[in-house]
Amino acid sequence: MTEVRSFSDTCLHSLATPKILEPRECGQLAPATSRRPAALVGNTPVLRVSAPLSPPGRGFWAKLEGFNPGGSMKDRPALHMVEAARARGELTPGARIVESTSGSLGLGLALAGQAYGHPVTVVTDTGMEPIVRHMLAAYGAQVELVTEPHPVGGWQQARKDRVAKFWPTTPAPGAPTNTATPTTSPATNHWD
């Protein structure tokens, strides 16, 4: 048996076979309209995956973060990082956000940038799927593509070097590495 739960309305469905439910099948998952961008992120459903995809009596819960407006599991932490940086005064209105990423965090930051009026530059390399680059552009992000790896540090160092070029000209572009940001732990540990 497969169950789907939405934390917002605790609806529960039993399904003969696993499938992703449409929002109308499980009540209102998130507000249809809102003046606050954060209201559109989160409230994602949870799907119980069991037989026939796992042994009888066993299973696991899968949180369907793809239901976020940006379709990324990083929508929530990216929005939280931008909100927290703005609240601390480290990200001033209209300041550019610059991030080295391989994909999903960049998508979340591009969405947050659109929501709060911040231009976003995503530094990535040729390993990023073209569809993700197109999605970033559709969200209004500038994509800086690194085409050669650093001779010693590889792709990650090459991306970090490109990000560093923004520091002298960009006020408060963000943290040099997202794992060093003061919001990393609260953002990644927050579950609605």
Q: Residue written as tokens 């990324």?
A: 72
Helix or strand run (H / E) with residue 114: helix 104-116
Question: Is the bond leading into 119 cis (omega within 30 degrees of zero)?
Answer: no
**45 has which bridge partners?**
6
Closest by Cα among 109, 100, 103 to 158: 100
Sheet architecture: strand order including 97-100: 97-100, 120-125, 142-146
How far, in Å, are 32, 154, 184 from residue 118 at the CA level? 23, 30, 20
Annotated active-site residue 19? The verdict is no
Which tokens hold the place of 69?
């407006």
Which of the following is catalytic: 19, 63, 74, 165? 74
Helix or strand run (H / E) with residue 15: strand 12-15
Residues assigned a catalytic role: 74
